[in-house]
Structure 1
Amino acid sequence: MAPEKLQVVLGQHNLNVKEHHSQKMKVEKVIIHERYNYKRRFANIALLKLSSAASFTSFVQPACLWRSGVHSRGTASALGVVAGWGFDNDDTLPGSLQQVLLPIVSAETCRQSYPAYYSLALNRGSFCAGYHNNGTGVCNGDSGGGLVVNVPNETESGSGEVSGSWYVRGIVSNAPPLPDRLTCDPDHYSVFTDVDKYTDWIDGQMDA
């Protein structure tokens, strides 16, 4: 896709109103992973290089990239938060940003729930999160959004307060569709690109 046809909007909450705190950014370059395979959903990750730097405000903040070393801190959450404007349970696209809290599940649990789908959709560069037969999850329109987890910092000496950092653990990739249409089936787990598996690639692109 040509970068000049894309626009990134930061800090937006309601798509139906003009929000003065949002930032509209032009895209200079689209970087698609060289091993991306649509049919196998492998290496389903891309980067957008903005034409100018974003301004960090109370509405626009960065998140850390999830790396294996985060686990050593012993407080990595098994729950992730996904925000987006994808289809809701009424099959409509909401105007306001929605969010959902999803547990990360094992590959074995995911595959056993729907072998015909996850045996192809789930690979070494992805993981599953969500619920089975719950009706809660991500859907069409959420793809490309981040699943972020909060990792608390160590308690500051004498303060008794605990703060933390948000990490992008995964990227919304795909989910089984409903039998009679192409929209997602909310009773199945969703598949996320595992950011940890691609940090070397991301670092390489950032340094290029």
Structure 2
Amino acid sequence: MTAAHCVRRKLYVRLGEHDLGVREGPEIEYKVARVIIHPQYDATTVDNDVALLLLPEPVEPSPRVSPACVPEQGAALPVGETCTIIGWGKERDTHIFGTDVLHEAEVPIIDNAVCEAVYEDYYITSNMFCAGFKRGRVDSCAGDSGGPLLCHRQGRWYIYGITSFGEGCGKRGKFGIYARVSNFRTWVQSVIATTFT
């Protein structure tokens, strides 16, 4: 699963990756066999910013590669709860490139009314939500798009969000904007049932 706006002609998925500059041993790279972009994805508003990637073979879980769950369709966001974002994006807005080492940060999920008030120039749809701090500093950034926002609940990790867009990186008074995965579970299941089997 990734963001629709990240889809390119050729895509590769590397599992078990941590440091892009070092061959650590367990990394496995696949050329993506097929991409399914959400049929209602809108590149202008970035609504429905989700795509599914089919790998050429099933992946076996391992100590470095483990699956995350998708929340139930329409599941409420854990507003106020701190969740984890990960990616190889820029550490700061002023940096030219992303990092070589996978970074993670903890950010709280923000109530949609607060998010909408902050982003008056954007239409925050019901398929989006915000996460971050009003003071800024901790945020996803360019290069993190398509990565997950993961919440740990009842002993399991759930993908509640996909990094989508934002205004700056860690900008005071702004939040990161994420695709709301719980709105797409039914679509994901139908794609798996009809396309990937």
Which bracket does the TM-score occupy, shorter chain normalised? 0.7 to 0.9
Alignment partner, residue 3 of structure 2: none
Q: Are 1:94 and 2:99 matched, yes or no?
A: yes
CA distance 1:27–1:132, change in 2 (3 Å): same
- For the pair 1:186 / 2:188, whether they are aligned, the reply is no
The alpha-carbon deviation at position 135 of structure 1 amounts to 1.3
Asked whether the equivalents of residues 150 and 166 of structure 1 are also in contact (C-alpha less than 8 Å), the reply is: yes
Question: What TM-score do the two structures reach when normalised by structure 1?
Answer: 0.82
| Uncovered stretches (5+) of structure 2, i.e. residues with no partner | 1-6
Structure richer in helix, relative to its length: 1
Counterpart position of 1:50: 55
The structure that has the greater radius of gyration is: 1
> Does the 8 A contact of 1:132 with 1:189 survive in 2?
yes
SS in structure 2 of the partner of residue 115 of structure 1: coil
Q: 4+ residue runs of structure 1 moved beyond 4 angstroms?
A: 68-71
> Which residue of 9, 14, 26 corresponds with 1:9?
14
Cα distance change, pair 19–197 in 1 and its aligned pair in 2 (3 A):
same
1:139 matched to which residue of 2?
A: 141
Larger relative contact order, structure 1 or 2 (CA cutoff 8 Å, min sep 6): 2
CA distance in 1, matches of 2:151, 2:126: 20
Query: SS in structure 1 opposite 2:184?
Result: helix
Equivalent residues, number = 184
Contact 2:38/2:50, CA 8 A, preserved across alignment = yes
Give % identity.
Answer: 29
| Distance in 1 of aligned mates of 2:34 and 2:26 | 25
- Who is 2:110 aligned against? 105
The root-mean-square deviation of aligned C-alpha atoms, in Å, is: 2.1
Q: Unpaired segments of 5 or more residues in structure 1?
A: 153-163, 178-183
Give distance in 1, aligned partners of 2:162 and 2:190. 19
Q: 2:162 touches 2:180 (CA, 8 Å); kept in 1?
A: yes
The aligned amino acid for 2:40 is R
TM-score (norm 2): 0.86
C-alpha separation in 2, matches of 1:98 and 1:2:
23
